[in-house]
Amino acid sequence: MDDGPRGQTSEDPIPPDHLVRFLAAVSRRTDMASAVQTAAELAAAGLGAEAGAATVGRSTTSVVGFGHLAAPVAELVASTPGDDPLEVDGVGVCHRLGASWNAGTSGRLWVARTGSPFTAADGQLLLAMASGLGLALDMIGALERQANQERLLTVLLDIQRAISHRSPLATILAAITDGASTVLHGWPVTLVLDDDGERPLVAGAPLADSPTVAVPVHIHGLAAGELRTTAPDGAAAGPLERELLQTFAEHASLALTEARTFEAMQEAFWDGLTGLPTRQLLVDRLRHVLRDATPAVGPSLLLLHLDRFGAVNDILGRAAGDELLQQVTERLLSIVAADATIARFGGAEFAVLLPGPGTTPPEAVARRVIATIERPFTVQGTLVHVGVAVGVAHAVDCRSGTADELLSNADVARYRARAAGSGAVVTYDGQMRAALLERLEMQAHLQTALDRHELVLHYQPIVELDTGRSTGVEALLRWRHPDRGVVPPSDFIPIAEVTGAIVPIGRWVLQTACRQIARWRLVDPTLTMNVNVSAHQLRDPAFPEDVRRALDASGLPGAALILEITESVLLEDDEQTLDSLRALKALGVAVALDDFGTGYSALGYLRRFPVDILKIDRSFVSGGDAGHDDGDQLVRTIVELGRAYALDVVAEGIEDEGQRQRLVELGCSHGQGFHFGRPADEESFDARLATVHPLVPRPRAPRRRGASGERQGVARPTRG
């Protein structure tokens, strides 16, 4: 008695349910691999077999049973129907059965089992299954060919559109290599063009192995390079793959010929102004260096940003800016090793690729670059000073070891270096990326903070130091972030300036502060409002009009508004800034110079710019506590300077009675700080006014400069 799996007898008909399930399951598959695998599984199950296999063409594509052991499968597919039972190690005696199909595709379906032999009915069932599989594969193949054809047409249409629209050559070449890779089953595709025999110019993904297929690319009929691809895992490339690659090569030839041929190639890979490689060429060379690098030793990348280059362009003109960039290039070439690659990324951005460990560490090279660039330049007969910040990244610190990651790391380091200021060198570490992502998240959230009513104003009193009477109020911006709590201005104002969000935010601050002080002036008409203004706002030609509208909407006279600027605004010496300040003076608005003494203001700036008030930085106020001499002398100097230039003086950061008394002795008339009141919201400041103000007599009016430049008495205190 046979105790193995039972099959059909020779007289039994083909079980229709087995065949129906088989055909239904196989026909539902949308790709050949899954259809063949399903067929092998269902054939084995339907015929009570322990193992099944399928071959398509000459390769075995699917195996089930026998633990997927290679040896039994090899013996199985090598057999033919009618062979004697096969002794398989670890399995025992196996009976075999096979059936072929030969439609659009050809192949064979196999099953094997221990126990009873297969019957004629089993053979009929397997033959029906094989025929059904062949038909299903033909249908799948037709659908795949149609989808591939549609995909090819879409890709080629996009490329042709880019060529006809004269898109940048680098963009077209990237579209060609990316499109070819998409159509060629995701195989990497690269376009290699001759570079005077030195280094190939490459578009697309670099090939790890020798190309499986390479077809020529032409410019005006002359060979200029090759379009290459490599089939993964040793797969063979057939006539279809070569034909597809040839199609894309023809489009590359057309693009290279249609675009200004070799000149366009030069523009894509070489900077026309400086003659340096572009970003695209540097990335290609970086990939070559990384491919040859060892895990312990690899290249380093320096990314440079020129500070104050924009001012040279704006003040001296674009031609002067171009000349400056050319001189910077000459200096960089003179100090960097011959095996390094210097590239220009556009604007005021440069890169230095150090291919491996040299005698000079990358950070030392960065410091040498800074020292070289910080020496003055002579541009069109004018002495020009620029600075540079450098971000450094090392390949050994990259997780993936790719060119994109190294570039990204260096860019993060450069971002941090720019934030640190001119002359800074910052080397990338993993924590920087998290900090940058946090900043980017804050940047995105800040764009809608106004709409979500997350921005609020707090107010701090400004007082007469000898009497303690409130003469004005400073509006201080706060951001109530839903997740981070209260974010100080020092954290988000720089972000707002970079993104341009400072313009709508500044406009809202002006409007809100003007409405608020107009209401408080119903209690005391002499109160003034101080609002901080950034350099970005002053450079906006529309800013004076924003101020006028805020005054008109609130019914506030210009004399009740004081705008605070920093010394850095004056240092830029920008004509638009000066025009804005003059327009503000015409509105009767006063200007205060904030944190005076901490920057590099010259007396000439105080004469050139219409400034009314000097604000003594808090560091000078507290500096007098320890011995008095240095801090007191600085305060006394600023007070005397204010008298000499007919400017009011306000001290910031007064925290105790001793500081107040000392400032009075030094001749300072006004001040602000925690000693007189911490910044408070509108409701709290309302309560303070209701409690304190009725007890305070009218303050005397400080001096200020009118629109004509003459000093005037006004019925309002200075800002503090």
Residue 662's pLDDT band (boundaries 50, 70, 90)?
Answer: very high
The yes-or-no verdict on residue 63 having pLDDT over 50 is yes
d(CA 389, CA 49): 72
The yes-or-no verdict on residue 544 having pLDDT over 90 is yes
Per-residue confidence (pLDDT) for residue 151, from 0 to 100:
77
Question: Over pLDDT 90: what percentage of the chain?
Answer: 24
Q: Which residue has the higher pLDDT, 627 or 160?
A: 160
438 burial level (CB within 10 Å; 0-12, 13-18, 19+): exposed
DSSP class of 105: S
Name 123's Cβ contacts closer than 8 Å, sequence gap at least 6. 81, 97, 99
DSSP 377-419: EEETTEEE--EEEEEEEEGGG-SS--HHHHHHHHHHHHHHHHH
Buried b (16+ CB within 10 A) or exposed e, 70-80: eebbebbbebe
Name 518's Cβ contacts closer than 8 Å, sequence gap at least 6. 554, 555, 556, 560
Per-residue confidence (pLDDT) for residue 166, from 0 to 100:
74
**Coil vs helix vs strand at 184:** coil
d(CA 356, CA 337): 11
**Coil vs helix vs strand at 287:** helix
Q: Which residue has the higher pLDDT, 207 or 366?
A: 366
Q: What is the pLDDT of residues 393-452, one digit of tens each?
A: 988 777 677 888 889 889 889 988 887 778 899 998 877 767 767 777 777 888 888 888
**Coil vs helix vs strand at 711:** strand
Per-residue confidence (pLDDT) for residue 716, from 0 to 100:
36
Average pLDDT value for residue range 550-579: 85
DSSP class of 443: H
- CATH code, 301-428: 3.30.70.270
Per-residue confidence (pLDDT) for residue 703, from 0 to 100:
44
The angle at the Cα of 56, spanning 53 to 60, to the nearest 5 degrees, equals 45
- Token reading at 34: 């899954």
In degrees and rounded to multiples of 5, residue 344 shows phi and psi of -110, 125
Average pLDDT value for residue range 18-28: 82
Per-residue confidence (pLDDT) for residue 218, from 0 to 100:
86
465: left (phi over 0), alpha (psi -120 to 50) or beta: alpha
Q: How many CB atoms lie within 10 A of CB 625?
A: 14
Per-residue confidence (pLDDT) for residue 32, from 0 to 100:
82
Packed helices 430-446 and 489-499: angle between N→C axes, nearest 10 degrees:
70
d(CA 159, CA 165): 10
Residue of 325, 213, 196 whose CA lies nearest to 266: 196
Per-residue confidence (pLDDT) for residue 291, from 0 to 100:
81
Intervals of CATH 3.30.70.270 along the chain: 301-428
Residue 644's pLDDT band (boundaries 50, 70, 90)?
Answer: confident
Per-residue confidence (pLDDT) for residue 2, from 0 to 100:
36
Per-residue confidence (pLDDT) for residue 264, from 0 to 100:
57
The yes-or-no verdict on residue 69 having pLDDT over 70 is no
Q: Point out the least confidently predicted range of 64-73, 150-159, 270-279, 551-560.
A: 64-73
Average pLDDT value for residue range 37-53: 86
Average pLDDT value for residue range 131-148: 80
The yes-or-no verdict on residue 350 having pLDDT over 90 is yes
The yes-or-no verdict on residue 698 having pLDDT over 50 is no
The yes-or-no verdict on residue 518 having pLDDT over 50 is yes
The yes-or-no verdict on residue 259 having pLDDT over 50 is yes
Average pLDDT value for residue range 595-607: 64
Count the helix, strand and coil residues of the chain and give each as a percent rounded to the nearest 5. 45, 20, 30
Q: Point out the least confidently predicted range of 259-268, 277-286, 345-354, 389-398.
A: 259-268
Fold for the domain defined by 443-713: TIM Barrel (3.20.20)
The strand ranges marked E within 18-127 are 51-56, 59-64, 86-88, 92-102, 106-113
Average pLDDT value for residue range 129-137: 85
Per-residue confidence (pLDDT) for residue 37, from 0 to 100:
87
Residue 65's pLDDT band (boundaries 50, 70, 90)?
Answer: confident
Given CATH 3.40.50.970, say whether it is the number of domain 16-144.
no
Residue of 273, 252, 368 whose CA lies nearest to 326: 273
Residue 708's pLDDT band (boundaries 50, 70, 90)?
Answer: very low
Q: Which residue has the higher pLDDT, 396 or 266?
A: 396
Residue 11's pLDDT band (boundaries 50, 70, 90)?
Answer: very low
Are 445 and 437 contacting, i.e. CB atoms less than 8 angstroms apart?
no
Per-residue confidence (pLDDT) for residue 295, from 0 to 100:
63
The yes-or-no verdict on residue 261 having pLDDT over 70 is no
Q: Which residues pair with 346 in a beta bridge?
A: 349
* Residue type at 423 in one-letter notation: G
Q: How many Å separate Cα 27 from the centre of its chain?
A: 46
Residue of 148, 185, 136, 138 whose CA lies nearest to 28: 136
The yes-or-no verdict on residue 331 having pLDDT over 50 is yes
Q: Residue 77 to residues 56, 72, 107, 634: CA-CA distances in angstroms? A: 11, 9, 11, 97
Average pLDDT value for residue range 12-39: 78
d(CA 606, CA 648): 13
Per-residue confidence (pLDDT) for residue 564, from 0 to 100:
94
Q: What is the pLDDT of residues 96-128, one digit of tens each?
A: 888 888 866 788 888 888 888 888 888 888 888
Are 51 and 160 contacting, i.e. CB atoms less than 8 angstroms apart?
no
d(CA 563, CA 569): 13
Average pLDDT value for residue range 144-148: 74
166-269 to CATH, choices 3.30.450.40, 3.40.50.300, 3.30.70.20, 1.20.140.10: 3.30.450.40
The yes-or-no verdict on residue 472 having pLDDT over 90 is yes
The yes-or-no verdict on residue 358 having pLDDT over 70 is no
DSSP class of 331: H
d(CA 268, CA 272): 9
The yes-or-no verdict on residue 212 having pLDDT over 90 is no
d(CA 176, CA 205): 12
Q: Whole-number mean pLDDT of the chain?
A: 80
The yes-or-no verdict on residue 704 having pLDDT over 50 is no
Residue 599's pLDDT band (boundaries 50, 70, 90)?
Answer: low
Intervals of CATH 3.30.450.40 along the chain: 16-144, 166-269
200 burial level (CB within 10 Å; 0-12, 13-18, 19+): middle
Per-residue confidence (pLDDT) for residue 552, from 0 to 100:
96
Intervals of CATH 3.20.20.450 along the chain: 443-713
The yes-or-no verdict on residue 508 having pLDDT over 70 is yes
Residue 571's pLDDT band (boundaries 50, 70, 90)?
Answer: low
**Coil vs helix vs strand at 712:** strand
